[in-house]
Structure 1
Amino acid sequence: MSTLQRRALSLLLIMALAALLAWSVRPTVRLADQGATLDLETLVPHQFDGWELDERQSAAVVNPQAGELQSRIYQQVLARTYIQRSTGRSVMLSIAYGENQSRSNDLHVPDVCYPASGFRIEQSKQGTVRFAQNEIPVRRLIAQRLQRREPLTYWTIIGDQIATSATGAKLLALSYGLRGTVPDGMIVRVSSIGLADDEAFILQQEFVETLLGSLSAEGRKKLAGA
Structure 2
Amino acid sequence: MIARRDVLFGGGLLVAAGAAAALTPRKNVVLLPAGRELESMIPKTIGSWQAVPSDLFVLPKTEGSLADKLYNQTVTRLYESPTALPVMLVMAYGSIQNDALQLHRPETCYAAVGFQISSSRVDAIDVGGRAKVPVRELTATAERRIEPIIYWTRIGDSLPTSGREQRVSKLEQQFEGIIPDGILVRMSTVAEPDEATFAALRGFASAMLTAVAPADRAVLVGTTISGRLR
TM-score, normalization: structure 1? 0.88
CA distance in 1, matches of 2:32, 2:76: 25
Residues 64 and 117, structure 1, Cα contact 8 Å, conserved in 2: no
Deviation at 1:11, TM superposition (A): 1.9
Paired residues for 1:1-226 under 5 Å: 1=1, 6-8=4-6, 10-32=8-30, 35-55=33-53, 57-58=54-55, 60-63=57-60, 67-87=64-84, 89-133=85-129, 134-225=131-222, 226=226
Answer with 100-109 or 112-121: which moved more.
112-121
CA distance in 2, matches of 1:68, 1:215: 30
Residues 156 and 187, structure 1, Cα contact 8 Å, conserved in 2: yes
Residues 59 and 79, structure 1, Cα contact 8 Å, conserved in 2: no
CA distance in 2, matches of 1:169, 1:196: 26
Change (3 A) 1:73 1:175: same
Task: Quote the RMSD (CA, aligned, Å).
Answer: 2.3
- Give % identity: 30
Unaligned runs of 5+ in 1: none
Letter in 2 for 1:156: T
Matched position secondary structure for 2:57: coil
Unaligned runs of 5+ in 2: none
Letter in 2 for 1:81: L
CA distance in 1, matches of 2:6, 2:154: 45
CA distance in 1, matches of 2:115, 2:34: 37
Letter in 2 for 1:27: P
CA distance in 1, matches of 2:97, 2:190: 31
Residues 52 and 85, structure 1, Cα contact 8 Å, conserved in 2: no
Matched position secondary structure for 1:206: helix
Answer with 178-187 or 202-211: which moved more.
202-211
The Cα offsets for residues 114-165 of structure 1, whole Å up to 9 and x where unpaired, read as: 2232211111011111111211111100011112111000001011221111
Higher-RCO chain (CA-CA 8 Å, sequence separation at least 6):
2
Deviation at 1:202, TM superposition (A): 2.0
Deviation at 1:187, TM superposition (A): 0.7
Change (3 A) 1:95 1:168: same
Letter in 2 for 1:107: L
Letter in 1 for 2:17: A
CA distance in 2, matches of 1:9, 1:142: 57
Figure out how many residues of one structure are paired with residues of the other and give that number. 222
Letter in 2 for 1:42: S
TM-score, normalization: structure 2? 0.86
